[in-house]
Amino acid sequence: MFTGIVEERGEIVARDDLDQAARFSIRGPLVTSDARHGDSIAVNGVCLTVVDIADGVFTVDVMAETLRRSSLSHLLPGSMVNLERAMPANGRFGGHVVQGHVDGVGEIEFITPAEHWTVVRIKVPAQLSRYIVEKGSITIDGTSLTVSAVGPECIEVSLIPTTLAETILGLAQTGDPVNLEVDVIAKYVERLTQADRAETGTRAAQKASDDDE
């Protein structure tokens, strides 16, 4: 599990395209300082498993399903990425509950700089809109952010100078794809509500059948 507090901006130093997969080598001196084989590191919000570490560079394997469902397919040597180690059990919970399971890919529509913050508007997939609320939490490229506005199939977030300086969102441009993970609590609530409605419908149908006998 992660919290969406990016620890450093890493750099893709190598990419090897394999059969139905890709292998990335990523420079991240901070996140590799105590990393071991098998550890989880979020790369632009995607939970990946460390398969090798050497001299501040770690290697991960990314299967085709992950490449298809995230923006990692766009990464090339020289690309900058957000990095976060998995949260330790005794760590600070600085952001919100982040699983590292991308729900969809959005697209940056507008970037509007202001004196003390920058407003970013992002087009979101239609199927994710119902999980997003104003002042709620969302993960964008692994960064825990508060939604400042919600529109038809788009959202806005406001980025402070620290976020711009310490995450790749400070390098973002209009048209860039971004990984989105909505609040997992909203998904569980929806699932439980659907199950409850289905159970209620089943009981009602059974009662009607009993009454007809």
Closest listed residue to residue 126, CA positions, set 101, 156, 151? 151
Query: What is each CA distance from 92 to 4, 70, 134, 177, in whole angstroms?
Result: 12, 27, 25, 29
pLDDT tens, residue by residue, 54-79: 999 999 999 999 999 999 999 999 99
With 90 as the cut, is the pLDDT of residue 144 above it?
A: yes
Tokens of 116: 């003390």
Query: What is each CA distance from 200 to 204, 212, 213, in whole angstroms?
Result: 6, 19, 20
Half-sphere exposure (Cβ direction) of 16: Cα atoms closer than 13 Å: 7
Query: What is each CA distance from 58 to 42, 54, 73, 146, 179, in whole angstroms?
Result: 12, 6, 18, 30, 21
pLDDT band at 202 (very low <50, low <70, confident <90, very high): low
For a pLDDT cut of 90, what percent of the chain falls above it?
Answer: 78
With 80 as the cut, is the pLDDT of residue 203 above it?
A: no
pLDDT band at 115 (very low <50, low <70, confident <90, very high): confident
| Choice among 19-28, 40-49, 85-94, 129-138 with the minimum mean pLDDT | 85-94
With 60 as the cut, is the pLDDT of residue 128 above it?
A: yes
Domain annotation for the chain: domains and CATH numbers: 8-85 (2.40.30.20), 104-188 (2.40.30.20)
pLDDT at residue 133, as a whole number: 94
Mean of the pLDDT values across residues 14-26? Answer: 96
pTM of the model: 0.87
d(CA 103, CA 127): 9
d(CA 174, CA 182): 21
